Amino acid sequence: MSVLIAPSILSADFGNIERDVKMINESRADWFHVDVMDGVFVPNISFGFPVLKAIKKHARKPLDVHLMIVEPDKYLAAFADAGAAIISVHYEACTHLHRTIQSMRQLGVLAGVAINPHTPVELLSEVIAQIDVVVLMSVNPGFGGQRFIKNTYSKIDDLRNLIIQKNSSAKIEIDGGVDIKNAPELIRAGADILVAGNTVFSAESPIEMIARLKESENAIA
């Protein structure tokens, strides 16, 4: 599978959100990555259902919704109704993770589980076979523009081994600090999906930067 690129809308210009959504539509990006923060699970607040619905109105590609919130089970149906195609909840926020995964599957969305930098991938061993996407946080969640945590490479390796061991079809998504320099190495390590925020939206040509990220796999020796 060719690497998927998911630009993070959190880094877009919200004064020109329709323009930025259309740019992603016209680019080689595969998904829209939408970060939802509640100010409790992470020390920041982003946006909720009205903004997601507004993005969905113009988006022609799947919405990859990352819930950085407490008690995500309460809101799964509402986010699915608002247009999410993929929903990722945090392992650290779910008391009954297996039940949460089942709920997402029943809603007809791809079930994702995200883990923070300090969380070992081995903790997913009992549910990895039911997960569609594992989001490895390569920065501490809550803010864009943070420096990439290099231990992520070994976590990708551990996760890839766990996926093989458990005969899972889960895809590995990397979220945080992804740029044009580390993208080839992340793909080489086993990443399937790259989330990029500031790297895309601070570029002189965001649409060209997305293309360069998409072509990163060609740089693998």
Which residues are identified as catalytic? 35, 175
Give yes or no for a contact between 63 and 85, defined as CB atoms under 8 angstroms apart: yes
127 vs 101: CA distance, rounded Å: 8
Report CA-CA distances (Å) from 1 to 156, 187, 190, 207: 17, 11, 11, 22
**DSSP category for residue 151:** T
Query: Which residues partner with 87 through β-bridges?
Result: 65, 111
42 vs 102: CA distance, rounded Å: 25
Tally the C-alpha atoms within 13 A of residue 170's C-alpha that lie toward its C-beta.
Answer: 32
* Residue listed under structure tokens 């569609």: 132
